[in-house]
A = this chain, B = another copy of it.
Amino acid sequence: MMSDAQKHMEKLMQELRRGTITIGVLSQLSEPQYGYSLVTMLGDKGIQVEPGTLYPLLRRLEKQGLLASQWDTNDTRPRKYYLLSETGKEVYDLLVVEWKGIVESLNHVINPKGGNEDGTD
């Protein structure tokens, strides 16, 4: 049985992850990867992604022109390889800059100039 705090954490954490999955995926696609391998390799690096989340994401990004895809049927099983497009590279770079900005802003409000939690104000 979960505490109240933890119950809400689930949703909150999910929202927190939003958008970051996109960066994670884009970051891996300087070299071609297919869906299943992305799930695995991102999971290894501490970024859990559900297949049901990743596949739609990949198709979205492709439709937006950030990714290019290509079926490989030579191998044992047919796999759909995705790769960053030129636009995708631009967007990824910009996104990283944005991301760092957000991290910085948030760090400021989270750690208020060193933390005076002893109350000596």
Contact = CB atoms under 8 A, between A and B. Distances in A.
A80 interface: no
Contact of A16 (B20, B42, B65, B104): B20
Instruction: Count this chain's copies in the assembly.
Output: 2
Nearest to A99: B16
A13 interface: yes
B109 A9 contact: no
A19 B22 contact: no
B94 A5 contact: yes
Given A19-B16, A19-B18, A20-B102, A45 B109 contact: yes
Given A15-B22, A23-B16, A105 B9 contact: no
A1 interface: no
Contacts of A13: 19, 95, 98
